[in-house]
Structure 1
Amino acid sequence: MKILKKTISAKDGQGTVLLRPETDEDLWHAYNLLQEGDLVRCTTVRKVVKESSTGSTTSSKKRLMLTIKVERIEFDSDVLEVRLSGTNVGENELVRLGAYHTLTLEKHQNFSIDKDCWDPIFLGILDEAANPDQQAEVAAVVMQPGLAHVCLITGNLTVTKGRIETNIPKKRTGSSQQSKAIQRFFNAVYQSILRNVDFTRIKVILLASPGFVKDDFWNFLLTTSVRQEDRPLIENKHKFVLCKASSGHKHALEDVLSDPAIMKQLTETKVAKEVEILNTFMRTLNDDPDRAYYGFHHVTQAQQSLAIESLLVTDELFRNSNVKKRKQYVQLAENVKEAGGHVYIFSSMHVSGQQLAQVSGVAAILRFPLPDLDELEELAAAGPEDDDKDDDEEEEYDPEKRIREDVADMGL
């Protein structure tokens, strides 16, 4: 992500940033930077209808610059698009103020974001997006007979780059149909790897399957790459790691990434660190529950005792449209950092983030046991305090009511 211009007030954090996404990962960062109420400006195509003096109408599509106030944000992980819906707030001769429009953020297209407050979480995402080292370093191929997924695993999401599905007939005596179908299947997977894996950036390629499918494909890959003189595969065959998976579906990566032997191959990648800290939390929760807590109220209480060593949070909690709730989580993360703890933000588009979401989306590993936190069990289920009513709607002090309650307590 290129930051073309950044104007942010040091006083209140209000400001505008002009960005240019250059990779798929940059679009994911753009999604995480946006929230309801932001002003986004970029070029778009809109159907314009004109009416002549005679009453006839003509329509045409025109490219123009629009600024919308964001009301809805969507990220499509399959086609890697960010779609923003909202109302036009900028002067434009072809689009009236208040008209509803949808913008699509694309690679190599400049866009600006104007926020009332760029808080530390947003600034952290911005810095990470501008860091070219935060890119996909792991590729994975999960397969079973007739089905395979070629994926890229970044620090934030798992992107499916290729899905290969082929009908494999049953083996019959004297028939070569099954063998031919398997060869076609293997060749399709082979070509997908060549098209979608950038071996100059990828450090590890996980090749996973149940049974011996991965072994048969590995032998096919070695033989074919030599016969066809495909230098990228020949020169990078040392990057392939064969491992076991439950199936050829994408969710089978959860099993692969939870294998300690595989984690040793990924020790320098962000995804490995997140999976490792999540596994540490799960083990601590099982073996030493007084040092592992989840749920907003439990974790907040632990932070008040300065006990948090590692805070685990899903990025969905920072995208909360409720400003007060978002500020609560931002403040929690900042307090942990100031107390010397580590903060891990998990992507909801990654397997590890989805696992964390199943236990409320926020969890902590403590420096020392806090058995008294069990008393907050009922509060933990409620989550952060609701912001549905304003502070000025709280119950007013009524002196006459207080006197009546005191009289009742004394039995008079």
Structure 2
Amino acid sequence: MKLVSRDIDKNNSGSVTLIPEENEDMWHTYNLVTIGDSLRSTTIRKVQNESATGSVSVNKVRTTLTIHVEAIEFDIQGCMLRVRGRNIQENQYVKMGAYHTLDLELNRKFTLGKQEWDSIVLERIETACDPTTHADLAAVVMQEGLAHVCLITSNMTLVRAKIETSIPRKRKGMCSQHDKGLTRFYDQILQAILRHVNFDIVKCFLVASPGFVKDQFTEYLFTQAVKMDNKVLLDNKSKFVLVHASSGFKHSLKEVLQDPSVTARLADTKASLEIKALDDFYQMLQNDSNRAFYGVKQVEKAAEHQAVEVLLISDELFRSQDIKQRKRYVKIVDTVRETAGEVRMFSSLHVSGEQLGQLSGIAAILRFPMAEDDDDSEED
């Protein structure tokens, strides 16, 4: 993300102008834009022109509109944001108050205005504009006949290719059909990796499966790399890590990222830190439940008592249309940071974020035990 300009006053009111440059920037944009904001960007508008003879022609014109945001839709596959609202600035083609939908996409500049820029939103802009944040982890989780090629960024698990193919069973004395099916399957995965994975950015490539599928595929991969003289694969052989997974489905990534050998390789990536924080929470919940709280009322109470050591919170909570509710979550985060607590922001599009969402989207590991309030837990 490129920050073009920032005009925020001492009351935290104002606007920023940004240009999304990568797919993940669209996810950041989705988290920045909320209902009630003002959004300014270029758009295409159909305009009707009537000639002196009475004939009507319709032309498309490019114009710049500023709308008051009323609805937001994020297209994950197309990495595009559709924002609908009423026009709030004079325009020669669009009447004041008329509805229009702005499409925000890669390399299209936009200006976002807010009545109040809170600490969470400002932090997200800093993160999005930090050039060091990249999709530095890739993975293929597989079983015979099914594979998912994924890119794991600091905020998203992106499934770049899903490969499903029917592989004939092994029969006594007739293994050739099975072997041909496997080779065809492995080749499809290989092509998906070459198409979707940028090894200049990726620090580590995980190959995960039950049994020996991962070993057979990796052997096939590098045999083909030698045959094709593919220097990209051969030069990056050291980045490949083989690890066990229970299946070839996407949710297996959670257990893969918990593997100690993987954690060691990914010590600097946000993805593994999130997984570790969630795993630590579950262990604390099992071993000392009075030091593991979840639900907004319980966590809020712990934060007020300066008891939160690690806060786990989903970015989905900050997209709440209820401004009062959003401010409540921001206050919890600020309180934890002020009392030297650690905050882990989970993405709802990440495997670990989906898990946290099942726990109401907010949880905390405490410094010391606190008795749980029965009334609060019932209300949560």
TM range (shorter): over 0.9
Task: Name 1:162's counterpart in structure 2.
Answer: 161
| Residue 287 of structure 1, CA deviation | 0.2
Q: Counterparts of 1:102 and 1:240 in 2: how far apart (Å)?
A: 44
Task: Name 2:376's counterpart in structure 1.
Answer: 379
Q: Deviations over 1:42-67 (max 9, x none)?
A: 11223333344555433233322121
Task: Name 1:322's counterpart in structure 2.
Answer: 322
Q: Counterparts of 1:346 and 1:332 in 2: how far apart (Å)?
A: 15
Task: Name 2:142's counterpart in structure 1.
Answer: 143
Q: Counterparts of 1:175 and 1:255 in 2: how far apart (Å)?
A: 33
Q: Counterparts of 1:247 and 1:351 in 2: how far apart (Å)?
A: 15
**Would the alpha carbon gap of residues 307 and 56 (structure 1) be closer, same or farther in structure 2, given more than 3 Å must change?**
same
| Residue 267 of structure 1, CA deviation | 1.2
Q: 2:86 matched to 1:103?
A: no
TM-score by length of 2: 0.95
**Would the alpha carbon gap of residues 102 and 221 (structure 1) be closer, same or farther in structure 2, given more than 3 Å must change?**
same
Q: Counterparts of 1:29 and 1:320 in 2: how far apart (Å)?
A: 15
**Paired residue secondary structure (2:278):** helix
**Paired residue secondary structure (2:81):** strand
Aligned-partner residue type, residue 379 of structure 1? D
Alignment of 1:206-245 (within 5 A): 206-245=206-245
TM-score by length of 1: 0.88
Task: Name 1:401's counterpart in structure 2.
Answer: none
Q: Counterparts of 1:305 and 1:174 in 2: how far apart (Å)?
A: 69
Q: 2:8 matched to 1:2?
A: no
**Paired residue secondary structure (2:293):** strand
Task: Name 2:114's counterpart in structure 1.
Answer: 115
**Paired residue secondary structure (2:49):** strand
| Residue 175 of structure 1, CA deviation | 6.6
**Paired residue secondary structure (1:4):** strand
Q: Which moved more, 1:350-359 or 1:87-96?
A: 87-96
Task: Name 2:123's counterpart in structure 1.
Answer: 124
Q: Is the 8 A contact 2:141 2:252 kept in 1?
A: yes
Larger radius of gyration: 1
Q: Counterparts of 2:150 and 2:233 in 1: how far apart (Å)?
A: 17
Alignment of 1:196-345 (within 5 A): 196-345=196-345
RMSD between aligned alpha carbons?
1.7
Task: Name 1:409's counterpart in structure 2.
Answer: none
Q: Is the 8 A contact 2:281 2:365 kept in 1?
A: yes
Task: Name 2:347's counterpart in structure 1.
Answer: 347
Q: Is the 8 A contact 1:78 1:159 kept in 2?
A: no
Q: Counterparts of 1:382 and 1:48 in 2: how far apart (Å)?
A: 53
| Residue 4 of structure 1, CA deviation | 0.5
Q: Is the 8 A contact 2:258 2:272 kept in 1?
A: no
Q: Is the 8 A contact 1:151 1:162 kept in 2?
A: yes
Q: Counterparts of 1:289 and 1:274 in 2: how far apart (Å)?
A: 20
Q: Which moved more, 1:183-192 or 1:166-175?
A: 166-175
Q: Counterparts of 2:89 and 2:142 in 1: how far apart (Å)?
A: 50
Q: Is the 8 A contact 2:143 2:247 kept in 1?
A: yes
Q: Is the 8 A contact 1:267 1:273 kept in 2?
A: yes
Task: Name 2:46's counterpart in structure 1.
Answer: 47
Q: Which moved more, 1:46-55 or 1:78-87?
A: 46-55
Task: Name 2:183's counterpart in structure 1.
Answer: 183
**Would the alpha carbon gap of residues 381 and 27 (structure 1) be closer, same or farther in structure 2, given more than 3 Å must change?**
farther
Task: Give the percent of matched residue pairs that are identical in Structure 1 and Structure 2.
Answer: 47
**Would the alpha carbon gap of residues 58 and 307 (structure 1) be closer, same or farther in structure 2, given more than 3 Å must change?**
same
**Would the alpha carbon gap of residues 175 and 96 (structure 1) be closer, same or farther in structure 2, given more than 3 Å must change?**
same
Aligned-partner residue type, residue 355 of structure 1? Q
Q: Counterparts of 2:154 and 2:129 in 1: how far apart (Å)?
A: 14
Q: Which moved more, 1:268-277 or 1:49-58?
A: 49-58
Aligned-partner residue type, residue 160 of structure 2? K
Q: Is the 8 A contact 1:315 1:347 kept in 2?
A: yes
Aligned-partner residue type, residue 183 of structure 1? T
Q: Deviations over 1:376-408 (max 9, x none)?
A: x3324435xxxxxxxxxxxxxxxxxxxxxxxxx
Gaps of 5+ in 1: 384-412
**Paired residue secondary structure (1:168):** coil
Q: Counterparts of 2:149 and 2:378 in 1: how far apart (Å)?
A: 39
Q: Is the 8 A contact 1:208 1:244 kept in 2?
A: yes
Task: Name 1:393's counterpart in structure 2.
Answer: none
Gaps of 5+ in 2: none
| Residue 145 of structure 1, CA deviation | 2.1
